Amino acid sequence: MTRGPARSDVAPVPAEPATGGPDGTDAVLAGLRRHAQHLVAELAGPVRRVRLRSGETVLEVEWHGSVALPPAAPTTVAEAPAVARPAPPPAADEPDADPHATVRAPIVGTFYRAPEPGAAPYVAVGDLVRPGQVVGIVEAMKLMNEVTADRGGRVAAVLAEDGQPVEYDQPLLALDPA
């Protein structure tokens, strides 16, 4: 959904006073009303329907014209294969252009060459690595994820800088066959 300017033509939904019932449903319903009022005021387009429910706490807002969005997705999907068709020839040329195997980032995050600051790196240019050997870590959401070599070889180049953000499947190391 897109956010639009606040709408001044939306009348406030009067909240019924909370009776402080044993299950707190009146307070929940009042909260749902406040949230619905804010949604209607902040989001673009005329509202078709607002549905509030306090049992199992449901809040649904439906806009006019919202059903027009799904047909747009197939149009985008239909164009994607046309772009993908020219891509295979460069991919076929890449193995000839670069004989190195690469170790790639398993996740989006920050790449580190060493297990902790000040420690020796897991591998350096010229080192031999074996399949399954840890060659670095990628920190994502405060978790350290080991980067392992999927094949053996000699480290030809370190392609990602220590402490720098990396994307999923980004090459981190280049390996020469051993």
Q: 157-176, pLDDT tens digit by residue?
A: 999 999 999 999 999 999 99
Quote the pLDDT of residue 52.
66
pLDDT band at 61 (very low <50, low <70, confident <90, very high): low
Quick check: 178 pLDDT over 70?
yes
Closest Cα partner for 137 from 118, 153, 156, 160?
Answer: 160
What is the average pLDDT across 100-117? 93
Average pLDDT, the chain: 72
CATH (residue range 100-176): 2.40.50.100
CA 75 to chain centre: 23
Quick check: 69 pLDDT over 80?
no
Quote the pLDDT of residue 25.
62
Q: What single string gives the DSSP state of each residue in 85-138?
A: TTSHHHHHHHHHH---EEEE-SSSEEEESSSSTTSPPS--TT-EE-TT-EEEEE
Closest Cα partner for 98 from 33, 40, 159?
Answer: 159
Quote the pLDDT of residue 64.
59
Quote the pLDDT of residue 175.
95
Quote the pLDDT of residue 34.
74
What is the average pLDDT across 99-118? 92
Q: 4-19, pLDDT tens digit by residue?
A: 444 444 444 444 444 5
**Which carries the bigger pLDDT value, residue 57 or residue 83?**
57
pTM of the model: 0.46
Share of the chain above pLDDT 70, in %: 46
Q: In Å, what is the CA distance from 76 to each residue of 67, 79, 80, 83, 153?
A: 17, 5, 6, 11, 42
Residue in this structure with the two tokens 């004989």, named with its chain if needed:
99
Domain ranges of the chain: 1-97, 100-176
